[in-house]
Amino acid sequence: MGIAKIAILGGGQMGAGVAQIAAGAGIDVVMIKATPGPIDKARAGIESDLARQVERGKLEQGAMDALLARLVFTDQLDAVADCDLLLESIVENLEIKRAKFAEVDRLAGPQCILASNTSTLSITAMQSATNRPKRFIGVHFFNPATVMKLVEVVPTATTSRAVTASVIGFVERLGKTPVLVKDETGFIVNRLLTPYMLDAIRCLESGLADIRGIDTAMHLGANHPMGPLSLADYIGLDVVLAMSENLYATFKHDCMEPTDLLRHLVAEGVLGRKTKLGFYDYSQRPPAPNKALQKR
């Protein structure tokens, strides 16, 4: 049950990252844009990243050309027809995902495995929108997909063992480390990581320390590559809010409940790196703590 050709639904940073590493591993990739607008943004981003690698001597020009030749970009969902795996990487909204999977299910060939890259949502709930319960699975990559080594593989109660084994082999072919996880909200990493970020925000709200102090303490004291507030900005505060809402709805643990400050920032469109403003101001180099939050 080999995976020779894949489709990725969603042309954002995560989808593009997975497309790049899969094409680099010799797999044919179709990137399907899920939202209106031009389809060339993802290609431009991949080409730019590869060109930097060539300039730095980390990649040969011939290898770059061969990788790009394995990538096809389209906005037509029926391009999934001859693929062995479709990986969904769109907005973190269960009903939107279910609707897309129902549509994909009608267009994909019987050989196709359907997979979601969701960070917290129920794989079983998405699977139930399709007619292939044995060929549905969660495959959760981490951002940036080109760098992060972990992939959470999330079979449901009805996913076949052969499909799970095939997906694990696919993940290993990409040079990633798969970890099998039960289908439960947040899986492993985000179930543990989200309360950590929320508690850091509560520390800021209570005045325990300022933004830089909280991040420096965890960076140096726990040997984390970045502090929790920087991490929240990197992930996107809207994504952190969605994860916390999903976790709290499932487990009702106080540590998982979104904080008022997080809700306010998202409502104001202050989402972190993607909007150039979050707990830090990314319009400056190097980024500086958001002055408005220092005064709260």
Which bin fits 236, alpha (ψ -120 to 50), beta or left (φ > 0)? left
DSSP conformation letters of 18-83 = HHHHHHHTT-EEEEE--SSS-SHHHHHHHHHHHHHHHHTTSS-HHHHHHHHHTEEEES-GGGGTT-
Domain locations in the chain as residue ranges: 5-180, 189-291
Looking at residues 134-157, what average pLDDT do you find?
96
Q: Is the pLDDT of residue 112 over 70?
A: yes
Residue 295 confidence (pLDDT):
59
Q: How far is residue 104's CA from residue 106's CA, in Å, rounded to a whole number?
A: 5
Cis before residue 144, ω within 30 degrees of 0? yes
CATH topology of domain 189-291: N-(1-d-carboxylethyl)-l-norvaline Dehydrogenase; domain 2 (1.10.1040)
Residues marked active site are found at: 119, 140, 152, 190
68-109 per-position pLDDT tens digit: 999 999 999 999 999 999 999 999 999 999 999 999 999 999
At 180, the amino acid letter reads L
Report the distance separating Cα 277 and Cα 256, nearest Å.
24
DSSP annotation of 259: P
State residue 1's pLDDT score. Answer: 54
User: Tokens 């005064």 appear where?
Assistant: 295
pLDDT of residue 294: 77
Asked if 5-180 and 189-291 have one fold, the answer is: no
What's the pLDDT tens digit per position in 57-73? Answer: 999 999 999 999 999 99
Q: For residue 42, is pLDDT > 90?
A: no
What is the arithmetic mean of pLDDT over 126-152?
96
Average pLDDT, the chain: 95
Percent of the chain with pLDDT over 70: 99
pTM: 0.93
CA geometry: angle 163, 167, 169, nearest 5 deg: 115
Q: What integer pLDDT is reported at residue 39 of this predicted model?
A: 80
Topology classification of domain 5-180: Rossmann fold (3.40.50)
